[in-house]
Amino acid sequence: MDIHQILKQLPHRYPFLLVDRVLEIDKGKSIRALKNVTINEPFFTGHFPHRPVMPGVLMLEALAQAAALLAFDALDTSPTDDMVYYFAGIDNARFKQPVEPGDQLILHVELLRMKAGIFKFKARADVDGNIAVEAELTCAMRKVV
């Protein structure tokens, strides 16, 4: 899935779109995607000017966006204007190494279960084969009124 297909599936836009490409998707099971981390990212001007590091919450957000792509694919649907995909929980988050400009985050997300619009995922992001972050994510797909 290239960036054009991702833009059709996710409502996020610059500077908050954090998935550049889907490398592999196993329908209803898992997704492998990537996020290229560049010095041009707006958060690096303040986090931190002397040693730029990608904020951990944004790594989790990148994983959640990959998880959303997996969820929409599993349901054979696309988001609509009256649908929102929210974080509902983050469990056992562990940050193993800093992510810096020039790194490439490989996002791995596995769908553990889905029921009534609630999704549970096991997720991790690697840099050069080393785990940068891992967590269990719970997300909810809801219609807005």
Longest Cα pair distance anywhere in the chain, in angstroms?
A: 46
Other C-beta atoms lying within 10 Å of the C-beta of residue 127: 21
pLDDT at 57: 97
Nearest to 14 by CA among 44, 36, 37, 42: 42
* 53-82 per-residue burial string, b: 16 or more CB within 10 A, e: under 16: ebebebbbbbbbbbbbbbbbbbeeeebeee
Residues 6+ apart with CB under 8 A from 75: none
pLDDT of 32-52, one tens digit each? 999 999 999 999 999 999 999
Mean pLDDT score, 99-128 = 97
Parallel, antiparallel or unpaired: strands 83-95 and 21-26: unpaired
- How confident is residue 81, by pLDDT bands cut at 50, 70 and 90? confident
Nearest to 5 by CA among 21, 25, 17, 16: 21
Residue 144 has pLDDT above 90, yes or no: no
pLDDT at 42: 95
Structure tokens at 59: 């790594």
pLDDT at 78: 87
Mean pLDDT score, 68-77 = 94
Mean pLDDT score, 108-117 = 96
Mean pLDDT score, 55-75 = 97
Q: Say which of 4, 12, 47, 50 is annotated catalytic.
A: 47
Looking at CATH, the fold of the domain delimited by 3-143 is given as Thiol Ester Dehydrase; Chain A (3.10.129)
pLDDT at 53: 97
Structure tokens at 110: 């596995």
Residues 6+ apart with CB under 8 A from 96: 130, 131, 132, 133, 134
Q: Is there a catalytic annotation at residue 47? A: yes
